[in-house]
Structure 1
Amino acid sequence: MEPGCLNLEITETIAMHDADRSALVLNQLKALGVRLDIDDFGTGYSSLSRLQHFPVDAIKIDRSFVSRMLTDVETGAIVRIIVMLAHGLRLKVVAEGVETQEQEDLLRDIGCELAQGYLYSRPAPAETIEQLLRNAANGPANRRVKAASSSVI
């Protein structure tokens, strides 16, 4: 497998536990061409100054923020700030746990590029995912079908 085909996710908590060691290992992986994401962003104790030294490609907003962003003003503000922070660092943003069209609409409006969640697909066996991808490739573009793992919003 080509390293560029591999996308690894490291949780914010693990990355910050030993930030110096994490940065070293992540830099080695990045040098190989591996794509790297910080998962569950916002649930740990990130040092923003450390974050800029990690060679990551994307920040994944934890589902706990996505689920409350429409009903809690402060949580909505946090999600907006995470998106702005990621873009300022030239990172992509993935929202986890998107379950409603309203959530997707807000995320799109604030500039979130990618999403995962039940709105697009429930967990499924590999055979089902393969069939969904084949159907999407052979038929009209259907963004929900193409979203077996992530969706561009």
Structure 2
Amino acid sequence: MEAACTQLKQWEGHAHSRQFRLAVNVSARQFRAADFVEQVRRVLDSHGVQPDLLELELTESLVLENINDTILKMHALREMGVRFSLDDFGTGYSSFSYLTQLPFDQLKIDRSFVHNIGVKTSDAVIVQTIIGMAHNLGIDVIAEGVETEAQRLFLEQHGCHACQGFLFSKPVPIEEFMAWNRRLPKC
């Protein structure tokens, strides 16, 4: 969290990166800490970053572990402006009722479904269903593990316009990412 907020503060000083959002994977142990909400508030305040530029990625298993605690913490963080992404969606024992109770901004379609697009019809149907459900709930959707142009095209044709994966880049150090970003044409 400290490193993410330090990076957000650095990006704030440059026009080409000022509105970048940074996602942080949150572990169950970290999220279950009694003072987690206060920890996030302190880090945001100490760095002076816009809370809506910080996105916390939570897994289904973490969310469902103690749903009442999850609801309270997520709503308290949402009031600050923090955003949420549901990571690896579809791999756990989904309880769709929590999707209407929790303030998720984004669902991340797990790479195992994306990998099988064009291979297993059932996985393509699952991907389409997740995209449709997310849109109907007003939640953005991003596909993980996109490795081929065929996968990207399928996702785009079915309404998923955000993707991540090796088709675009392998993970790179921040310096390399920033150099790449500076080379992009500005709108």
**Category of TM-score, reference length = shorter chain:** 0.7 to 0.9
Residue number in structure 2 paired with 1:45: 93
Asked whether 1:18 is paired with 2:36, we answer no
Secondary structure of the 2:102 match is coil
Decide whether aligned partners of structure 1 residues 140 and 101 sit closer, same or farther in structure 2, where only a CA change above 3 A counts. Answer: farther
Q: How many residues align?
A: 139
Distance 2:159 2:62 in 1: 27
Across the aligned residues of Structure 1 and Structure 2, the Cα RMSD in angstroms comes to: 1.2
Give % identity.
40
Distance 1:24 1:15 in 2: 11
Give the helix-richer structure, 1 or 2.
2
Residue number in structure 1 paired with 2:172: 124
Secondary structure of the 2:155 match is helix
Using the size of structure 2 for normalisation, the TM-score is: 0.72
Structure 1: unaligned runs, 5 residues or longer = 142-153
Structure 2: unaligned runs, 5 residues or longer = 1-48
Asked whether 1:101 is paired with 2:101, we answer no
Residue number in structure 2 paired with 1:32: 80
Decide whether aligned partners of structure 1 residues 106 and 14 sit closer, same or farther in structure 2, where only a CA change above 3 A counts. Answer: same
How far the C-alpha of 1:113 sits from its partner, in A, is 2.3
Contact 1:16 1:45 in 2 (8 A): no
- Of 91, 104, 109, 1:56 maps to 104
Using the size of structure 1 for normalisation, the TM-score is: 0.87
Following superposition, which runs of at least 4 residues in structure 1 exceed 6 angstroms of deviation?
none
